[in-house]
Amino acid sequence: MDITQDVKIDVKTANGMIRPGTFRVVAGPCTVESYDQFYAGAKAVKQAGFEYVRGGAFKPRTSPYSFQGLGEEGLKIMAEVSGEMGLKVVTEVMDPYDIELVMEHAQVLQIGARNAQNFSLLRRVGAAIAGTDHGVLLKRGPSSTVEEWLLAAEYVTSAGGDNVVLCERGIRTFETATRFTLDLSAVIVAKRLTDLPVIVDPSHAAGRSDLVIPLSKAAVAAEADGLIVESHHDPQEALCDGEQALPIEALMGLKDVLSPFATAMGREVI
Amino acid sequence: MADHGTPQRVEELRRRVNEVDGELVRILNERARIVQELGAYKRETGVALFDPRREEEILRRVAEINEGPIYDTSMRDIFELIMHRIRDLEVERREFSN
């Protein structure tokens, strides 16, 4: 029986982030904390066999007193380290004023869950990346329906933005065992309604690292085109979301763990 | 209060409502079949099902031709539901189409 028969594995982005027949893994720390910390994190991503590193310079924290990220300094660290290692950077942009700055240092601009319906930001990002190789990773708002999520993407694409990748990161439900509830059915529905690639963020959805690997396997089976996971060389000491970060050893084994599932779905883990 | 049965006038109005409902059901399925044809064409030509621009066009038109007493905004809500439920049919069908 060919289980890949009805699975749309041919979606792609023009900038190569998403390629047909592949399963893209983006990994890295929640936040850039220092040069050394990001260097260790990026090196692990590279050694684990992945090409895209994530890291936050501008952090949307619930409390204004929580660590807010290193800002421009964080962007510079990411650009320098990733340039040296030949990695591409995915990082969040929160403020329209920072779009150009972020584009100078990163290839993929993430629009976070809290800004998922910040329509002026979506439009400005779309217009800024139009005609470039830069991409957008658009997270689903924790209270957004699939329809609202797709319409948010439409704000980016209708402003000229290409290379849009959707990201399911969990929605708010009554369940308290996990931080959010990963909505894998939304991945499938979104893929049937559009030709946009859809990836999954199991780290933010679960809020705990022990569920990240099982949810990642489930994401492959649920027709996702990739993953974005948080990893840290020392989760215990992380400044942000340490409890959901994969330790380095787990990151090193991620490709091997996912490959049998990806192969079954007609994909190669990259 | 003793039940003297439903007055004839109410019976008559209910009969007419039933008739209109029957017609609505028939017409909605006719709409669904047309959309299915469109869906098949989109599938063949690789066009995405999600088309918010066209949806807005339909909703605007519906409000424009609406003469009431249903509010324009309510008519939009009703048609949004109709469109999305019929689109769901297409999303489901895609699964069995290969």
| Subunit contact B95:A151, Cβ cutoff 8 A | no
pLDDT at A77: 97
Task: Name the residue ranges covered by the structural domains of chain A.
Answer: 22-269
Which residues form the domain of B32?
A: 8-95
What letter would DSSP give residue A136?
E
How crowded is residue A136: how many other Cβ atoms within 10 Å of its Cβ? 27
Q: Within a domain: residue B59?
A: yes
Q: Within a domain: residue B1?
A: no
Q: Residue A256 above 90 pLDDT? A: yes
| Subunit contact B94:A192, Cβ cutoff 8 A | yes
Nearest residue on chain A to B48, alpha-carbon basis: A194
Q: Please, what's the b/e burial string for B42-81 (b: 16 or more CB within 10 A of its CB; e: otherwise)?
A: beeeeeebbbeeebeeebeebeeebeeeeebeebbeebee
Looking at beta carbons, which residues of chain A come within 8 Å of B94? 6, 192
| Subunit contact A192:B46, Cβ cutoff 8 A | no
Specify the CATH number of the domain A22-269: 3.20.20.70
Length of chain B in residues, anyone?
98
CATH number of the domain residue B45 falls in: 1.20.59.10
Token output for A130: 């139009």
Q: Give the total number of structural domains in chain B.
A: 1
Q: Within a domain: residue B60?
A: yes
ipTM, 2 decimals?
A: 0.71
Q: Within a domain: residue B2?
A: no
Confidence class for position A8, pLDDT limits 50, 70, 90 = confident
| One pLDDT digit (tens) per residue for chain B, 98 residues | 555 678 999 999 999 999 999 999 999 999 999 999 998 888 888 888 899 999 999 999 999 999 999 999 999 999 999 999 999 888 776 554 44
pTM: 0.88
Q: Within a domain: residue B3?
A: no
The number of C-beta contacts closer than 8 angstroms across A and B is: 24
Residues 34-73, chain B, touching A (beta carbon < 8 A): 46, 48-50, 52
Query: How confident is the model over A151-206, as pLDDT tens digits?
Result: 999 999 999 998 999 999 999 999 999 999 999 999 999 999 999 999 999 999 99
How crowded is residue A172: how many other Cβ atoms within 10 Å of its Cβ? 11
